[in-house]
A and B are shown apart, each in its own frame.
Chain A
């Protein structure tokens, strides 16, 4: 079974880490990732840019809002990683997806760091 691990934390506090503190955490995480990679269990992992870099498309109203999706009534049901030229391009893709599946919202958040580890073919669903 493939599991997604969604990382939550106090953003302001994490943003207050010094570079050294951040590096220490990233180094510790990379040890865990390395172990998982050796076991052939690791898929792509990534770090998102701050929420200030996010833009949200409210699908049915075709309303573009600055910032992350803040409502708590809806649940996170899935996500895409898509290579877009810029925000306009990304909004175009989001509208295309939205036409296929109206309702809810897309939060469009640039990715800061992407580790494109590939799962062995056999373990993919």
Chain B
């Protein structure tokens, strides 16, 4: 790696810890961000000259804090700090800062920084944008590209979100055990939103969005380092790794989405699958079930199947049933119905989903699944109507194309009769 690439990786990985400590210190997001930016600028000149510091986060916290205080003093025309040349030689001072960075403290610091982004009043898209801006340090332009909107619109969205967050005030007192676990749950949900924002990208060349998946995994690993015994954080990380493992197979060379059943499993990332399975294994040992672990277990069954026909649908049906029990939702029932149709046929699956018609009427997948089940039961007229409804609700050209292919199959079946 070149100097710059090394520094970039060090700054990126130190950011959550450094920024969250500065946030605790200044108790103001804007001041903390400015201090962090200034520290990064100094790092860019000091690190190539003096070599990388032993603990980049501690260096950034120390320098960021002092630069910001210095700026305040300067504003008050008071005595200033020594200049940058002396500042860059931190080896002694740095070790004091490291010593004072109690592990338990910075754990809550980072959790707080992440938690600030999942304020319940913020809509999901704002939470994701804010986390990418504040925690990951992506530029507004990068985030705008990922969301496929203009930079100005994204700037506005982030500014609005920040205003709301600072009006709400960040929680600076040390969290109780209950608060800590509530924060963890909120942060986990937000990380999965970040992941899905990337995962729902509709073509493989949307690399700006795909990068969000990797970012979510990186932050989940960080969270797991801080809270190593949380089975649901293990489950979430496993879930994201197992889904991300399929990335290369999800789109064909023309950029069209390939359904799970048609994916070339040789393209799945064995590394990510192995890590996901290892984490799921660790989680299960705790014997505390949770929605992320169950979803990861479902993804693991897909990952373990040599081919689509080898998939253990009966087990997947059971897992969806316990997910449904834990988090009742029509979408989960729909997924269970898909597993039922594979394990036991289309008829019982159709019976399961008919009661969902009203609640899922505006949902693309409902009509897609219903059409497929009706087609399998040779109820072609109804199948065509369901597919037409699905096409109208498709969220992307790839989804529409998939349904059109189903309609073509219907046409062929009709022609063959």
A residues touching B (Cβ–Cβ < 8 Å)?
10, 12-17, 21, 24-25, 49-53, 55, 64-67, 86-88, 110, 112-113
Choice from B56, B225, B274 contacting A67 with Cβ under 8 Å: B225
Chief secondary structure at chain B's binding surface? helix
Whether the Cβ atoms of B279 and A52 lie closer than 8 Å is yes
State how many angstroms separate the Cβ of B214 from the closest Cβ of chain A: 8
Whether the Cβ atoms of B56 and A50 lie closer than 8 Å is no
B12: chain A residues within 8 A (beta carbon) = 13, 16
State how many angstroms separate the Cβ of A112 from the closest Cβ of chain B: 6
Whether the Cβ atoms of A113 and B222 lie closer than 8 Å is no
Whether the Cβ atoms of B278 and A110 lie closer than 8 Å is yes
B281: chain A residues within 8 A (beta carbon) = 86-88
Choice from B14, B234, B274, B285 contacting A49 with Cβ under 8 Å: B274
A113: chain B residues within 8 A (beta carbon) = 271
| Interface flag for B414 (CB, 8 Å) | no
B234: chain A residues within 8 A (beta carbon) = 52, 66
| Interface flag for B224 (CB, 8 Å) | yes
Choice from A13, A15, A66, A86 contacting B221 with Cβ under 8 Å: A15
| Interface flag for B398 (CB, 8 Å) | no
Whether the Cβ atoms of A88 and B225 lie closer than 8 Å is no
Cα–Cα distance between A42 and B1 once the two chains are bound (Å): 24
Whether the Cβ atoms of A64 and B221 lie closer than 8 Å is no
A65: chain B residues within 8 A (beta carbon) = 228-229
- 15 intermolecular pairs with C-beta atoms under 8 Å apart: A10-B13, A12-B14, A13-B6, A13-B13, A13-B14, A16-B9, A24-B1, A52-B237, A64-B285, A65-B228, A66-B228, A66-B282, A86-B281, A110-B274, A112-B274
Cα–Cα distance between A10 and B218 once the two chains are bound (Å): 14
* Size band of the interface chain B makes with A: 20 to 34
Whether the Cβ atoms of B5 and A21 lie closer than 8 Å is yes
| Interface flag for B324 (CB, 8 Å) | no
Choice from B1, B5, B13 contacting A15 with Cβ under 8 Å: B13
| Interface flag for B10 (CB, 8 Å) | yes
- Given known A10-B13, A12-B13, A110-B275, contact A21–B282 (CB-CB < 8 A): no
Cα–Cα distance between A112 and B270 once the two chains are bound (Å): 9
State how many angstroms separate the Cβ of A117 from the closest Cβ of chain B: 19
Cα–Cα distance between A69 and B80 once the two chains are bound (Å): 44
Whether the Cβ atoms of A50 and B275 lie closer than 8 Å is yes
Whether the Cβ atoms of B285 and A87 lie closer than 8 Å is yes
State how many angstroms separate the Cβ of A13 from the closest Cβ of chain B: 4
- Given known A50-B275, A52-B237, A53-B275, contact A17–B225 (CB-CB < 8 A): no
Cα–Cα distance between A24 and B274 once the two chains are bound (Å): 22
Whether the Cβ atoms of B282 and A87 lie closer than 8 Å is yes
Whether the Cβ atoms of A52 and B285 lie closer than 8 Å is no
4 additional contacts (CB under 8 A) given A13-B6, A15-B221, A66-B234: A13-B9, A16-B9, A50-B221, A67-B225
A24: chain B residues within 8 A (beta carbon) = 1
Q: Which 3 A-B pairs have the closest CB atoms?
A: A12-B13, A67-B228, A87-B281
B221: chain A residues within 8 A (beta carbon) = 15, 50, 52
Closest A residue by C-beta to B1: A21
B5: chain A residues within 8 A (beta carbon) = 21
Whether the Cβ atoms of B56 and A13 lie closer than 8 Å is yes
Closest B residue by C-beta to A110: B278
Whether the Cβ atoms of B9 and A14 lie closer than 8 Å is yes
Cα–Cα distance between A24 and B5 once the two chains are bound (Å): 12
Whether the Cβ atoms of A52 and B13 lie closer than 8 Å is no
State how many angstroms separate the Cβ of A51 from the closest Cβ of chain B: 7
Whether the Cβ atoms of B228 and A49 lie closer than 8 Å is no
State how many angstroms separate the Cβ of A19 from the closest Cβ of chain B: 8
Within 8 A of A (CB), among B8-26: 9-10, 12-14
Within 8 A of A (CB), among B207-228: 218, 221-222, 224-225, 228
Whether the Cβ atoms of B9 and A52 lie closer than 8 Å is no
B271: chain A residues within 8 A (beta carbon) = 112-113
State how many angstroms separate the Cβ of B407 from the closest Cβ of chain A: 38
A16: chain B residues within 8 A (beta carbon) = 9-10, 12-13, 218
Closest B residue by C-beta to A25: B1
